[in-house]
Amino acid sequence: MKYSEAKEKYIQAWGTLGSSWGVNRTMAQIHALLMISTVPLSTEELMEELKISRGNTNMNVRALMDWGLAEKVLVPGERKEYFKADKNIMNIGVQVAKERKRRELDPIIKLLNDITLVEGDTAEVKEFRKVTKDLQKFATQTESVLDLFIKSNQNWFFKILGKLR
Amino acid sequence: MKYSEAKEKYIQAWGTLGSSWGVNRTMAQIHALLMISTVPLSTEELMEELKISRGNTNMNVRALMDWGLAEKVLVPGERKEYFKADKNIMNIGVQVAKERKRRELDPIIKLLNDITLVEGDTAEVKEFRKVTKDLQKFATQTESVLDLFIKSNQNWFFKILGKLR
DNA sequence: ATAAACTTTCAATAATATTTGAAAGTTCAA
DNA sequence: TTGAACTTTCAAATATTATTGAAAGTTTAT
């Protein structure tokens, strides 16, 4: 396979994957590009490579930085900002786990904590309490697993799991 | 908190959570409703409760069945179809893990297997190979974890992880 | 202070995804 | 068969989300 073809497929696939994980396509594609680049890239270079506008580029680069997946690089003697991505896949995984936990799991747990307290003794309400308590338990367990993953550095998490197989 | 309020919040939250996980809001809400219902629900009941059209209801109920999250219930003497959801949260987790693995992870692993074979010895291509191989490794490890989770019945998975904390 | 180089914002537009609802299709009892 | 009861389809309408690009904002060298 030619490099140009492989690269195209890779960026395309990363974008698609991003979409089905609540990350917008462009953000994922910028990330994909930064991941394989040997040098930090400027806004212009990202615009050119992905054929996207300046505004879009700026917006999504900032989103990537919010997610802790990219950072600014200042090149001495240059006014322009360059961007690079952390290439350590484990760090990326941890970072994504951390952010999604904060943005999605934590609010749901908070909500479940509230609504499981609903009062009443009709069959309907009893069932509601039962189901939401189960969900609460599951969410809390998931939280523990994520915390374990987030705290464990390097490959520790996978190594342990590998032994269980 | 009143039951009606708790129920509303729960359905709303489940819909939002669905959206950020690549599942459409309505599908998630139907699932939420079926989860807390003490009896199977008909298309009409779902339409009424969620204020959605017949077509939408039909489409999303079928999607839920595709995901293995709901099933038809035939009530003797009734022409109408009723639907119920599996309420075992572990089964749901396993089902979702299984489907997403099949729909998303498997294709990405396949792609990575292809593109890591890109030939060339420029710095660019070498970096590309390095990054994609790392991703491949990570994806494969993730796959193992998911398989472990999918195969482990009941709470085994969480129990084991709990001990590691 | 000025202006060039650069970044950010945001209203307008475009692209995408979801929803509707009426028509077509199916099933089944009579 | 027929027609009532029910399900499915899908083109059109609506809602949501992403993108553009020009204007406004910022920074820095002189």
CA distance B38 to B49: 15
Q: For strand D, is any atom closer than 7 Å to the CB of A92?
A: no
Confidence at residue A77, expressed as pLDDT on a 0 to 100 scale: 87
Low-confidence ranges of chain A (pLDDT < 70): 153-155, 163-165
Q: For strand C, is any atom closer than 7 Å to the CB of B163?
A: no
Confidence at residue A165, expressed as pLDDT on a 0 to 100 scale: 54
Contacts of B106 in chain A (CB under 8 A): none
| Chain D positions with a protein C-beta closer than 7 Å | 5-11, 17-23, 28
CA distance A6 to A48: 18
pLDDT at B165 over 80: no
Which of A17, A118, A158 has the CB atom closest to B104's CB atom? A17
CA distances from B35 to A24, A41, B24, B43, B163 (A): 30, 48, 17, 15, 30
pLDDT at B163 over 80: no
The burial of A142, by beta-carbon neighbours within 10 Å (0-12 exposed, 13-18 middle, 19 or more buried), is given as: middle
**B165 CA from C14 C1′ (Å):** 49
CB–CB of A45/A80 below 8 Å?
no
CATH 3.20.20.70 is held by the domain B3-85: no
Lowest mean pLDDT among A6-10, A159-163, B20-24, B87-91: A159-163
Number of other residues whose CB lies within 10 A of the CB of residue B111 = 22
**B79 CA from D1 C1′ (Å):** 21
Confidence at residue B66, expressed as pLDDT on a 0 to 100 scale: 94
State the pLDDT confidence band at B23, using cuts at 50, 70 and 90.
confident
For residue range B3-19, list pLDDT tens digits in order: 999 999 999 999 998 88
Going by C-beta distance under 8 Å and a sequence separation of 6 or more, which residues neighbour residue B52?
B26, B46
Specify the pairing of strand A70-74 against strand B81-85: unpaired
Q: For strand D, is any atom closer than 7 Å to the CB of B146?
A: no
3-state secondary structure of A135: helix
Q: For strand C, is any atom closer than 7 Å to the CB of A62?
A: yes
Nearest residue: Cα versus C1' of C17: B24
CA distance B140 to A162: 11
For residue range B44-75, list pLDDT tens digits in order: 999 999 999 999 999 999 999 999 999 999 99
Confidence at residue A160, expressed as pLDDT on a 0 to 100 scale: 73
pLDDT at B87 over 90: yes
Confidence at residue A106, expressed as pLDDT on a 0 to 100 scale: 95
3-state secondary structure of A2: coil
